[in-house]
Structure 1
């Protein structure tokens, strides 16, 4: 499976970048602060917990954390930081796997719901979150906004990152609402390394409907974990859904 290649040993080895990128304090700090506040005195469950980028610092803040993770190489990296007695993890698909107990918070960060490449799978993810939550519990999703406004007629790709040694671009299949992210990494020479990942993009309004189908109501939506205003120009959003009850 393509997903096995994406989240295999190579990705797991390269994933952690302590102090920079996704692990930079200005990125990670506000996310953990927000999750601590939402969890309150309850337990938190992370769908696609990966190497523990968020789960480990959240547990260090005193929140009981559990996880669901499909990639065993990613989980092996997590286990170098926290054992199963500290952060129990169920190996499986976040749309179907079941973790023991009930939680006050389920969260899914860094666009990961889009790794489920069918609408049915994404709806199932919402329903799985609902099954794990106590009445009134919350489901937080961090997700990017599709940049289709950047696509003129006849163009199928957008460049979303140009940095030293890195170019990121997305190719869109607008008929099927699919996108493939292409990651080019290179040094001073002529050779470059290409990594790719498939996604199904979701508009915020469609995401809200998925929540409604699973018994959720949208509680808040911001542009980031610091609470910035979500506008038509926002490139991503942090949305919190509350389960009825």
Structure 2
């Protein structure tokens, strides 16, 4: 796909995002993040890619000093229209090198629901790790919710899947896989009696060991890797949660 920008996904998916992801209950992520925040150093928390606030709003409601960034003004506007969403400070910008403003360092930076992989190449992903590390307090954590790449589902590096079938609508996904660039690119397609809606989907995936190397380059250390927000054992499949930590300052 040409002419992709950091705002592309949000701007073109905002009208269907909440509906299409309604089956993904954010409660476990909110609970897991709150537990990690309680275990770490005191300080504000920063979310990369707040989207429509599905995790942002309930987490802030627990009393967390939460701020965030999103590249899509339309997604943030949708969040601010929800109860509590207008009270959360959000910067419109690219999570690769966002400047949250002020001199605050953060106790935790997090990104959920695989959104880190919307960064389209390895160089931008490495830069994102470096930027996060600069903005963490000593002992602060970078938390990512990630999918283990499932490349086996692609025959001849492409796939077509059916997500919904109803009397008046069909939702399918058509995706191509580039194994050299480690990219998935495609569309969710909604066909109804009123016409067709295209919602682009793109991702530059990375394996867990590649993420660990990015973290090391940024000066972060792997603290935890779980098979989910309930801290299940990681078994190399499905979605998982990784926690990196900035080493505490050493006494001189």
Shorter-chain TM-score bucket reads: 0.7 to 0.9
Displacement of 1:160 in angstroms is 6.0
Contact 1:42 1:63 in 2 (8 A): no
Aligned match of 1:124: 127
- Unaligned stretches of 5+ residues in structure 2: none
Displacement of 1:113 in angstroms is 1.1
Match of 2:15, SS state, is helix
Aligned match of 1:139: 142
Aligned match of 1:185: 190
> How far does the alpha carbon of each residue in 1:131-157 deviate from its partner, in whole angstroms, 9 at most, with x for none?
2210010101111121123345xx112
Displacement of 1:130 in angstroms is 1.0
> How far does the alpha carbon of each residue in 1:73-97 deviate from its partner, in whole angstroms, 9 at most, with x for none?
111112213466x311111110111
Match of 2:26, SS state, is helix
Displacement of 1:229 in angstroms is 2.2
CA 1:2/1:151 → structure 2, altered by over 3 Å: closer, same or farther? closer
Give me the whole-angstrom Cα distance separating, in 1, the residues matched to 2:145 and 2:56: 15
Give me the whole-angstrom Cα distance separating, in 1, the residues matched to 2:211 and 2:8: 27
Aligned match of 1:16: 18
Residue 170, structure 1, aligned to residue 175, structure 2: yes
After TM superposition, what 4+ stretches of structure 1 lie above 6 angstroms from structure 2?
A: none
Greater CA deviation, 111-120 or 223-232?
223-232
Match of 1:53, SS state, is coil
Paired residues, number: 235
> How far does the alpha carbon of each residue in 1:148-204 deviate from its partner, in whole angstroms, 9 at most, with x for none?
23345xx112456633332234311111211114212234x5954332222211111
Give me the whole-angstrom Cα distance separating, in 2, the residues matched to 1:231 and 1:190: 44
TM-score normalised per structure 2: 0.85
Cα-Cα RMSD:
2.2
> How far does the alpha carbon of each residue in 1:21-44 deviate from its partner, in whole angstroms, 9 at most, with x for none?
23xxxx311100111111124321
Displacement of 1:64 in angstroms is 0.9
Give me the whole-angstrom Cα distance separating, in 1, the residues matched to 2:225 and 2:214: 15
Displacement of 1:223 in angstroms is 1.9
Residue 74, structure 1, aligned to residue 75, structure 2: yes
Greater CA deviation, 165-174 or 47-56?
165-174
